[in-house]
Amino acid sequence: MARVAQVTSTPPGLTSERGCAITGWGSALPSTVVTNQQIMTLFDTSDEWIVERTGIHERRAADGPFVSPRPASSPPNGMGTTAQLAAQAGAQALAKAGLSGADIDMLVLCTTSPDQPIPATSSPVAEALGIKGGGMDLNAACAGFTYGLVVACGLVAVGAEKILLVGAETLTRLTNWSDRSNAFLFGDGAGAVVIEAVEGEGSLLGWDVGVDGSLQPLFFADYGGPGMSMRGQEVFRRAVRMTVDSATKSMERAKVSAADIALFVPHQANLRIMTAVAERLGLPEDRIASVIGHTGNTSSASIPIALAEAADSGRLAEGDTILLAGFGAGMTWASAVWRWEPGRPR
């Protein structure tokens, strides 16, 4: 039987009278739009087939066969790397929070597609934003942002005042564009939030994270390989079960029910997975924050992009209870129940 690492309660030493709240948010997408019709030029498929199975109509790309190479003599457009996307989303979040990079104690960059093995991609992001505190990368694949949310609140509990949490990906660099089974799934983008310390109980009401390393062969990408490899049907089956189980645990710990959840912000992997999870949790479809139709699967960037779009479109009100949940390669999973209170005094 697989040995599963899982945490569902606050570890000793992290209990604190200091909580955390989101005070700013932002997102960034590359300018190149890749439609399903363009994907159809690569292999035998159809727009109807892709939409029916995934809910994806288009995605944004920083790399791949539909992105024109930039001449060496021209300046970068600022949207072609994981670091550039992260910096743009981070700058928006900082501006919304009324802060500068110099105010940030720690940058946590969640990514499974860093720009290079060494150094961490958080390093050039910190430079671009003028961050004087620490910086680190966190790789929990598509569950990364929710992992990062738990880490950020842990840092606040032991003394940090302001955290910039970013999910950023350029998955098109890792896509096997000849693989008909999954090349149409992935897109690039970034989302970010500023997390600040508040007195008393914070916005994180309950959380759950886990990993089952025995499931690595279901979804992986090797160094020097052709790109990402995924056993889609098996991932689908396990993803629904894992996400429902994790979300249920977080809701139980937060002492809330489905009726209390104003908005469900899932990892944007596949619309059928998102709706299946919501149905099993007792959440109506109109409470799902969905951006997958125009972004595709952006891995650790998907939840913060969806969260930022929901906030900017007026779907969130002060005091709303939201549920974040997702899964990723590894296989990892993570969920959190969060009270939306960006106007809370700090």
Catalytic residue positions? 142, 267, 297
- Of 253, 271, 270, the closest CA to residue 323 belongs to 253
Residue 44 is encoded by which pair of tokens?
Answer: 């035998």
Name the burial class of residue 246, with classes exposed (0-12), middle (13-18) and buried (19+) by CB atoms within 10 angstroms of its CB: buried
Residue 57 is encoded by which pair of tokens?
Answer: 């109509």
Distance CA 35, CA 270 (A): 16
- Of 315, 194, 207, the closest CA to residue 254 belongs to 207
Contacts of 337 (CB under 8 A, 6+ apart): 204, 205, 206, 207, 250, 251, 253, 254, 256, 261, 321, 322, 323, 324
